Chains A and B, each alone.
Chain A
Amino acid sequence: MADLRRLGKRGSYRLGRLGGPRPAPSAPPAPHYPSFAPHHRGPIGLWLLACLAGVVIVAAGALAGWWFLPFLAGLAGGLIAHYGRWRLRVSLPAVMLIAAAGWGGALWSLVRGGLPEGAVAREIAALAGLPASSAVAIAVTLLVAVIQAAVGLWLGRALAPGYGLR
């Protein structure tokens, strides 16, 4: 019903509404109840174990010269996320962590084996024209693994679209 006080004023009329039937009342929006209940399938412990296995595989693959394993880890993560109903906000950090920890772990194991990886890292940075710091070369190395994993995850999620972008 029109507001009589607004009659004659700009914007007071809605064509088709004055004489039309009333719209059916819509249902009120459902209330949002924050919940920490899991939306994924399977026990979280198993998923964490799978992540750990991924780290080990990526690390072992690195030591074997299989530089592309972080990509495969990401790809697998994307596909598995579909099954496990993992959201991107979980699966992306997870695969990146697997890749970084895998290559980082491989480097760590080499250092534990007595190899002077710190000095080599500094040399790599210097040869690449970067600031000659071990941390820079290590960061770039881990970044290469992380980029692979992220791209792999994208491909996996694209092939098996799943549980939303969030």
Chain B
Amino acid sequence: MSSVGRVINVLAALLVSAAVLALFAVGYGPVPALGRALVPGHGAWASAPGGQPIHSQTLSLPGLAHPVSVAFTSHGVASVRAADEADAYLALGYLHARFRLTEMDLERRLGEGRIAQLAGPAGLSSDRFELRLGLLRTAQAEWAATPRTSPAAQVLIAYSRGVNDYLAQARRTGQWPSLFGLTGVYPTPWTPTDSLVLQGVLTQELDYTTTPLDYAILARTLGPHHTMAWFPLLAPGRGTPYDPGPYKYHGLAPIAPQSTTAFTRAAGRAASPPPTSQAQASGGGAAAERPAGGEPAAMAAGLVPGPAAKGPVPGPAARVASLSDPSSSRASGTTAATTADDRQRAEAPVSGPGSSSNPITAHVATAAAAMLAQANALPAGLIHEYPDSNAWAANGPKVSGAKSMLAGDPHLPQTVPSIWYQVALSAPGLSVTGVSVPGLPGVLIGHNAHIAWSLTDTQNQATLFYTERTSKTRPGQYFWRGAWRRMRQVHYTIPVRGGPAVHLTVNITVHGPVMTQAGQTTSVDWMGNIPSPDISVIIGVTHARDFAQFHAALADWRAPSQNFVYADDRGNIGAISAGYYPLVRHGDPWLPMPGTGADDVAGVIPYASVPQVYDPPGHVVATANQRPVGPSYPYYIGTSANFFDPGYRAGEIYASLRGQRGMHPASFAAIQLSLTDRLAQQIVPRLLAALRGAHLSAQQQEAAALLHGWDATMAQHSAAAPLWWTFWGDYLDAVFRPWWKAAKVPVHKDPPGLAISPQNQFSLDQVLASWTTGDPANSAFSPPGGPHRTAPEVMRAAFATAVAHLAATLHGAPSSWAWGRIHSRQFPSVTQADALGYGPRASGADSWTVNAADGGLVSHQGPSWRMIVAWAGHGTATGESVYPGGQSENPASPWYEDQMADWWDGRYLALPPAGGYPAGQVRWSLRP
């Protein structure tokens, strides 16, 4: 080789060596630092010790005041015994981090808009959304407003210290979970604000809805007439309210004020400036401007009552009766005659029913579509889509061998690891057992020495959208209460893995953050943006000894609104739907409303008037996300469209409870595991009646025979179950698709909210069931411009279509079909890595069964925790529970999914007593 060639060779070798070493040392773009990440024993491989079965040992935890012992059951359920509460919560923080650090950090990143730092540009849409929405701003405001000497602050500080003790240990040993070792992006120290952000994420999952945006698009396309007829305020039927009344109207309660300094400090911005100019219209002005604390949305309602803050807010019945669109009244059970027709929708702007001041213009629809696109780009489960959970209690003659019993099974997105971490805590004054949420201190569902409680989502409308009036000549301003106001701006820099950081500016109006400026500047007033002292409330509930204390503790709960079901050792039962129910004086809150001031949130339902019962005469109380009150309830709490469960689960629970006396825990377990589809019970006889005498093929006859002998059980091996499901979907499709098609409903803009599919559009399910049983000649059965049809005719056609569908899918004779052949459950991993999840696995159940499976044919939401508590006497409870998954997030751990089989097969494990077990197979001694 010549000398020149030799030099070139050396240079090339040096260059390539440097490039390879640099790539392996620091990574490039989305490629991680492979050398650091994959060196055996370190990087991603370092998680192996965390997957080993744990053993008894002594650990040093700085921050502890006294020694703490932790005993583990064979399933890894920890019993923490501490000398004071702060130590107990510090130990809980350590346990959460030890077993769920990846889950905690991912949730924190999600809420704080830092997913892109880990996942690269793919995470940007989520980060932008969350930073706009403002979970971080709200958490910062809440923490700033929390007195440091308060119990909640003490608990949050102790908990954070426990998490950080584990982070320090991981930093010292390098034994991080694989995700961090692989990416090289490690968790930052935990702060109380992080816990409050996680509280916000949970609130968002349970409370943030986009239904008003879907209403806007439907009103724009279907027209207000059909929109409110098919998505009415009150669903047809009597419903199954757990609080049947009588109700009292107590006026409006102000929204609690909060710190005005936290947000300003966090954002580094001054408070909203005064109006930049006064418009000729009166009614506003600088004095009415909202403060800058927390999220401004809805806050001023408490501080600055709106101009019409007197007089009753009409309840649903009154509002429906006042609607200009009589069809909605009909669907809601009122008696007005139909006068509107579809020509209305050809006119622009389209007015929403009941308010001529609420135009759904093309711009509003464009903005709605833009916001729906944002929402659909989010990870699954972040927008509240499905009703969640069952909880009921019984006492008196309804139970045997116990003074009262309580059952709870919250239905949440089912992931591996689970959202829950089971634990029992014991300290002087503290004795509790149940499930906690990793990242949050406290036991959210469980029991203490005297009371037991479980939660279901209330489902009331907590998200309101406002179309802001803006002007091209006044950039950065909006018109509110007679004056032009300057939007406040918050600037963020989003770190992006493998790319340059992205800057984001969030504009904030008096209603809340501006979510889009496409078409029409639209902001959101979401109750989750109001700091809610949930930690403080949970501490209060944990210490409550009776219903009075339980009731008092829940008074401060704001979001997410929840039905707290209660049973105690004295034999009392009850339920309270705690939380904020926003109310407006004017306008239609189920649609985007004008943001000029008149339609602002004027207050919330006073705590004394929220749905609640105590020791009901029937000795049972049950919530399954159904509308908790009857039609005479004097306040607006939401519409039928995705805000409330149709009540099939609640109906089944009530039917089971009322039909029995002397129930045992096994009786409750049977209800929790029930696969009866109450809608099928209602509709299948009508279908069979429609088929009677009709000309059916041999295959159709065989299929109909299956339905004849069917008990409406959505069992995995049922041959009739897939027939029912498919029929119902085809029936919905046959009735509504012609209307959707004629109106050009842009389903693609939000398939979850606009598509016609079974158990997705709850309103359509309910109105169609109502027409089928009570109004078979409803005009909706006749397609626009098509021949006249009745329910039986459409049912026959849908049945034929369903049989053909199943024959093409499952083949063979109908008797060989099985629900489990087309329906499965899937438990995705929180890391989004498919192989780390569980399933899909053939399964029974559907959305209307008490043992629910939400999400369609591949269900990903259902009972995330099953618990039954029986109070035998004073301070004496026996409990059983199970959840799908396991205590550890480490796939190598024996506790990764060790409870899955028990959950799947309907078995329960013993729930540790309040305060936990004094000893276990494995025991940790935690020393200061």
Interface residues of A (CB under 8 A from B): 62-63, 65-68, 71, 103, 106-107, 110, 114-117, 119-120, 122-129, 132, 140-141, 144, 147-148, 151-152, 154-155, 157-159, 161
Q: A116-B52, A119-B891, A158-B9 are in contact. Are A65 and B42 (CB under 8 A)?
A: yes
Q: A123-B178, A123-B891, A124-B178 are in contact. Are A67 and B48 (CB under 8 A)?
A: no
**Partner of B48 from A103, A110, A132, A155 at Cβ < 8 Å:** A110
**B14 at interface, CB cutoff 8 A:** yes
**B924 at interface, CB cutoff 8 A:** no
Q: A116-B48, A127-B182 are in contact. Are A67 and B42 (CB under 8 A)?
A: yes
Query: Which A residues touch B40, using CB under 8 A?
Result: 62-63, 103, 106-107, 110, 141
Bound-state CA distance A152–B35 (Å) is 14
Bound-state CA distance A128–B45 (Å) is 13
Q: A68-B35, A144-B24, A161-B1 are in contact. Are A123 and B892 (CB under 8 A)?
A: yes
Residues facing A in B200-217 (CB within 8 A) are none
Most buried by A among B34, B43, B45, B834: B45
Would you give 9 A-B contacts (Cβ < 8 Å), ordered by A? A67-B35, A68-B24, A68-B35, A128-B182, A141-B45, A155-B14, A158-B10, A158-B13, A161-B6
Closest B residue to A74 using CB positions: B17
**B287 at interface, CB cutoff 8 A:** no
Query: Which A residues touch B836, using CB under 8 A?
Result: 123, 126-127, 132
Inter-subunit contact B892/A120 (CB<8 Å):
yes
Q: A67-B42, A147-B20 are in contact. Are A119 and B892 (CB under 8 A)?
A: yes
Inter-subunit contact A116/B892 (CB<8 Å):
yes
How distant is A133 from chain B, measured CB to nearest CB, in Å?
9
Bound-state CA distance A110–B48 (Å) is 9
Inter-subunit contact B52/A126 (CB<8 Å):
no
**B41 at interface, CB cutoff 8 A:** yes
| B1-41 interface code vs A (CB 8 A; 1 in, 0 out) | 10000100110111011001100110000000011101111
**B318 at interface, CB cutoff 8 A:** no
Bound-state CA distance A106–B681 (Å) is 62
Q: A62-B40, A122-B891, A123-B47 are in contact. Are A67 and B24 (CB under 8 A)?
A: yes
Inter-subunit contact A120/B42 (CB<8 Å):
no
**Partner of A106 from B13, B21, B41, B52 at Cβ < 8 Å:** B41
Bound-state CA distance A128–B831 (Å) is 11
Query: Which A residues touch B17, using CB under 8 A?
Result: 71, 151-152, 154-155
Bound-state CA distance A71–B22 (Å) is 12
Inter-subunit contact A71/B42 (CB<8 Å):
no
Q: A144-B24, A151-B16 are in contact. Are A124 and B891 (CB under 8 A)?
A: no
Q: How many A-B residue pairs have CB under 8 A?
A: 128
Query: Which B residues touch A129, using CB under 8 A?
Result: 833
How distant is A25 from chain B, measured CB to nearest CB, in Å?
31
Inter-subunit contact A65/B39 (CB<8 Å):
yes
Inter-subunit contact B182/A124 (CB<8 Å):
yes
**Partner of A120 from B24, B44, B833 at Cβ < 8 Å:** B44
**B174 at interface, CB cutoff 8 A:** yes
Inter-subunit contact B9/A115 (CB<8 Å):
no
Most buried by A among B41, B44, B51: B41
**B321 at interface, CB cutoff 8 A:** no
Inter-subunit contact B24/A127 (CB<8 Å):
no
**B49 at interface, CB cutoff 8 A:** yes
Inter-subunit contact A110/B45 (CB<8 Å):
yes
Most buried by B among A116, A127, A129: A127
Q: A67-B39, A106-B40, A127-B44 are in contact. Are A120 and B178 (CB under 8 A)?
A: yes
**B179 at interface, CB cutoff 8 A:** yes
Interface residues of B (CB under 8 A from A): 1, 6, 9-10, 12-14, 16-17, 20-21, 24-25, 34-36, 38-45, 47-49, 51-52, 174, 178-179, 182, 829, 831, 833-836, 891-892
Bound-state CA distance A47–B182 (Å) is 36
How distant is A155 from chain B, measured CB to nearest CB, in Å?
4
Inter-subunit contact A144/B48 (CB<8 Å):
no
Query: Which B residues touch A107, using CB under 8 A?
Result: 40, 45
How distant is A77 from chain B, measured CB to nearest CB, in Å?
13
Q: A67-B36, A71-B21, A123-B892 are in contact. Are A154 and B48 (CB under 8 A)?
A: no
Bound-state CA distance A163–B527 (Å) is 76
Query: Which A residues touch B49, using CB under 8 A?
Result: 115
Inter-subunit contact A148/B178 (CB<8 Å):
no
How distant is B648 from chain A, measured CB to nearest CB, in Å?
38
Inter-subunit contact A141/B174 (CB<8 Å):
no
Query: Which A residues touch B182, using CB under 8 A?
Result: 124, 127-128
Query: Which B residues touch A155, using CB under 8 A?
Result: 13-14, 16-17
* Besides A67-B24, A144-B35, 19 other A-B contacts (C-beta < 8 A): A65-B174, A71-B20, A107-B45, A110-B41, A110-B45, A116-B892, A125-B835, A126-B829, A126-B834, A127-B44, A132-B835, A132-B836, A148-B20, A148-B35, A154-B16, A155-B14, A155-B16, A158-B12, A158-B14
Inter-subunit contact B24/A124 (CB<8 Å):
no
Query: Which A residues touch B891, using CB under 8 A?
Result: 119-120, 122-123
Q: A103-B40, A110-B45, A144-B24 are in contact. Are A116 and B51 (CB under 8 A)?
A: yes
How distant is B266 from chain A, measured CB to nearest CB, in Å?
33
Query: Which B residues touch A128, using CB under 8 A?
Result: 182
Query: Which A residues touch B178, using CB under 8 A?
Result: 120, 123-124, 127
Inter-subunit contact A141/B35 (CB<8 Å):
no
Inter-subunit contact B48/A117 (CB<8 Å):
yes
Closest B residue to A119 using CB positions: B892
Query: Which A residues touch B834, using CB under 8 A?
Result: 126, 132
Bound-state CA distance A124–B38 (Å) is 9
Inter-subunit contact B835/A122 (CB<8 Å):
yes
Inter-subunit contact A148/B1 (CB<8 Å):
no
How distant is B279 from chain A, measured CB to nearest CB, in Å?
56
How distant is B43 from chain A, measured CB to nearest CB, in Å?
8
Inter-subunit contact A115/B44 (CB<8 Å):
no
Bound-state CA distance A124–B17 (Å) is 26
Inter-subunit contact B10/A120 (CB<8 Å):
no
Leading 4 A-B pairs by shortest Cβ distance: A132-B835, A119-B892, A67-B39, A126-B835
Closest A residue to B51 using CB positions: A116
**Partner of B41 from A62, A122, A147, A151 at Cβ < 8 Å:** A62
Query: Which B residues touch A123, using CB under 8 A?
Result: 44, 47, 178, 833, 836, 891-892
How distant is A27 from chain B, measured CB to nearest CB, in Å?
26
Query: Which A residues touch B39, using CB under 8 A?
Result: 62, 65-67, 103
Q: A65-B42, A122-B891, A123-B891 are in contact. Are A115 and B48 (CB under 8 A)?
A: yes
Query: Which B residues touch A65, using CB under 8 A?
Result: 39, 41-42, 174
Closest B residue to A70 using CB positions: B35
Bound-state CA distance A140–B38 (Å) is 8
How distant is B415 from chain A, measured CB to nearest CB, in Å?
15
Most buried by B among A110, A120, A148, A154: A120
How distant is A91 from chain B, measured CB to nearest CB, in Å?
14
**Partner of A114 from B34, B41, B52 at Cβ < 8 Å:** B52
Closest B residue to A71 using CB positions: B21
Query: Which B residues touch A67, using CB under 8 A?
Result: 24, 35-36, 38-39, 42-43
Q: A119-B892, A132-B835 are in contact. Are A144 and B34 (CB under 8 A)?
A: yes
Bound-state CA distance A62–B37 (Å) is 11
Inter-subunit contact A68/B21 (CB<8 Å):
yes
How distant is A30 from chain B, measured CB to nearest CB, in Å?
24
Closest A residue to B102 using CB positions: A127
Bound-state CA distance A129–B30 (Å) is 12
Closest A residue to B183 using CB positions: A127
Closest A residue to B891 using CB positions: A123
Bound-state CA distance A125–B44 (Å) is 10
Bound-state CA distance A116–B179 (Å) is 16
Bound-state CA distance A151–B20 (Å) is 8
Bound-state CA distance A115–B16 (Å) is 35
Bound-state CA distance A65–B40 (Å) is 8
Query: Which B residues touch A117, using CB under 8 A?
Result: 45, 48
Closest A residue to B1 using CB positions: A161
Closest B residue to A114 using CB positions: B52
Bound-state CA distance A140–B24 (Å) is 13
